[in-house]
Structure formats: structure tokens, C-alpha cells
Structure 1
Amino acid sequence: MFREMRRKKQILSNEEVTKILEKSTSGVLAVIGDDDYPYAVPVSYVYYDSKIYFHGAKSGHKLDAIKKNAKVSFCIIDKDDIVKEEYTTYFRSVIAFGKAYVVEDEKEIMESIEKLSIKYYPEDSEENRNKAIEREKRALCMVRIDIEHVTGKEAIELVKMKK
């Protein structure tokens, strides 16, 4: 169903892909938008339990597209170093494919909001975090991407540097 990567030497291991998903702070969500035009939008997210969670408004282009067609891709650029003299970049990236769903379960909503909050403000007190979550949770919508396929790739120059 999903294409095999052509440049096999450049494939990242599952461990490397997981590290990138866990540490990165933003990615680009791609959906099938209005009139079947691609719509790609940057989002902040958290990755846990092999799923990607992000929040957004309760209405808008992104949510309309997800409700119309749950199939999405999510791209993270982990490294993008320009090497002018070589006319190239030393890159590392991850692309996840899956289905996105609006989270309806209250327990899952609260858990994903808390994980997202801790990721972006880990030194905050639990009391302050809980106040912020309580204040904001009614206005936001949590979305979960159930990953069906994920790949990671890096520039051949980075592969060679590892050896």
C-alpha cells in the first residue's frame, strides 16, 4: 500500500524515527482540502503511545478536511543544513502517514492536553498547568493521528559520517 523508499541506504532506523518524533516541536500536517487541493499546515504536537496528538480550533479548514477524509500525512524536518559549496543540504526528516480523528473520549482529551502541556512547558507547576488546561480546554479540539506507516530519511553525506 505504501511505497518503499528508493534510497535504502538513507533510511533511518525505527529508533531514530521515534527519537525525532519525540523531540521535535512542530511538523506539517497535510490533508485533502477544499476541491481536493492539498492543504498543509504547521502544527505543534506531542507523540506518545505511537500516536501524534495536536490541538486546534473546533472549526476551520483543517478540521473540515479531516472530517471529510481522515487520511493525512505529517512531516517533520529534523535537520536542514545548507552546504553551499556542494549545492545541497544535509537533511534529516520523518514522514508519518495515517488517519486523523477528533478525540471524543474525555479521558484521552485530558491526557493528551496534559502531555502536550508538559512537552512545551515541562518546568511549570502541576497546579498552574491544571489551571491553564481547565481555562482553555473548552475552546480547543484535540486531534489524534493513528500512524499506519512512517519513514525517516537522511542525506547520504550524514549516512557516510556515521561510518
Structure 2
Amino acid sequence: MRRAEFSVEDKEIFLEILNSCEYGTLCLFDKQFPYSVPLNFAYLEDKIIFHGANEGKKITLIEQNQNASFNIVKPYSFIPSYFSNTTSACPATQFFASILINGKVSILTQAHQKAKALEALMQKMQPQKGYESIDETNPIYTKMLTKTAVFALEIENFTIKIKAAQNLTKEAKENLFNKLEQRGEEIDLKTIELIKKYS
């Protein structure tokens, strides 16, 4: 990473991003151009789990080449230029935390594997429950498990990038805290916590 001050090695923020972000972007090889598709996902047993149709471009490309990357971004506050008391647009910036993952995608074929993966996805997206747990022995899911493709991205390496005012002076950070507190949106308070932790 070119800007080393934004690079982070922290398992806690890694899990926080994975568990709090609803979707990420999968990037596959497709001849001349990369093929990117946003999708819901879950983190299970050190793998990124997602699902889709049994036919179509995504599964075709995965069958041709298992190598893939997956990008997740958790946005924090947008910092407008006028927070810096200037008429220049240059200070405007976006704070965020992100993960870029590289690995290989496999297609799960066993019913119990697919059920476990889809249940993990449901627990993440619908934690309040209100549905029968997905189990390969439950007849209401027999057809669904047959018709749904389930994928697992085995993580080979990853990079965490956090942009949270690491390059600002102490005085500039204090000014930023005041501006964020005055604006007072929920995300601003979370951004202050992020800045204090990582800068």
C-alpha cells in the first residue's frame, strides 16, 4: 500500500467490517476486463460465503478461473472542505475502513455445507430470526438447496485500509473533533472513535 499510515493489522476491525457490512464486491477474471458484482456475504470458518444462481455469468467465470478478489468498504464521515476554514475544495475527504481480500472461490456441492453457509448468511442479514433454521434435513429447504449455488472464497491474503485522519496534526484533529461533534450525526460520533483509535 502506497500510504503506509493507512495500513492496519487488527483482527478486531477485520471482524467488525466483515460482520457489519451488508455487501461487498466480488471481482472475477473475464477475458479483457475484470467482472465485478456486488453481493451479500457472510464470514464463516475463515471464508467469505455468498450465493447465487446455478447458471449465469458469475458461476461460469468461477468455473473457468477460481482466482478472485473481494472488497468491502465501511463508510465513516464525509469531511466537507469548509471544515478546514478554507474556500478551496481540496481538503474535502471521505473517511472509511476497507478490506481487500484475494483468494480462490470454490462451489459448495454438499447439501449440509450449503445449508450451513446459507444459515450463516441468514443469521447475519436477519438476526431477529422469524424463519425456520436452514438445515438439509428440513423438507422446506430441499428444493432450494438443489437450485441455489453456494460459494466459498478461501482467503489467501488480505489488506486492511483505514483512512481516519492519520496524516493530520494534533491541532487539526481537535478542530475536526469539534466540527464533527457540532454536526452530531451518529456516524460522526463513530468517526471520532475511529480517529482516536487509529490516528
TM-score by length of 2: 0.71
C-alpha distance in structure 2 between counterparts of 1:122 and 1:155, whole Å:
29
Alignment match of 1:24 (pick from 7, 18, 21): 21
Code of the aligned partner of 2:123 = I
2:184 equivalent in structure 1: none
Higher normalized contact order (CA 8 Å, seq sep 6+, divided by chain length): 1
C-alpha distance in structure 1 between counterparts of 2:99 and 2:24, whole Å:
9
Measure how far apart 1:84 and its partner are: 2.8
Partner SS state of residue 109, structure 2: coil
- Correspondence 1:126-141 to 2 at 5 A: 127=132, 133-134=141-142, 136-141=144-149
Measure how far apart 1:16 and its partner are: 1.0
C-alpha distance in structure 2 between counterparts of 1:18 and 1:11, whole Å:
16
C-alpha distance in structure 2 between counterparts of 1:159 and 1:43, whole Å:
33
Alignment of 1:42 onto 2:50: no
Given the superposition, is the C-alpha separation of residues 133 and 11 from structure 1 closer, same or farther in structure 2, using an over 3 Å criterion? farther
1:93 equivalent in structure 2: 98
C-alpha distance in structure 2 between counterparts of 1:141 and 1:158, whole Å:
42
Measure how far apart 1:50 and its partner are: 0.9
Higher strand share: 1
Q: Percent identity?
A: 26
CA RMSD, 1 decimal: 2.2
Code of the aligned partner of 1:142 = V
Measure how far apart 1:83 and its partner are: 2.1
Name structure 2 gaps, 5 residues minimum. 82-90, 169-194
Is the radius of gyration larger for structure 1 or structure 2?
Answer: 2
Is 1:90–1:158's contact at 8 Å kept on the other side of the alignment? no
C-alpha distance in structure 1 between counterparts of 2:57 and 2:76, whole Å:
29
TM-score by length of 1: 0.85
Measure how far apart 1:56 and its partner are: 0.2
Code of the aligned partner of 2:69 = S
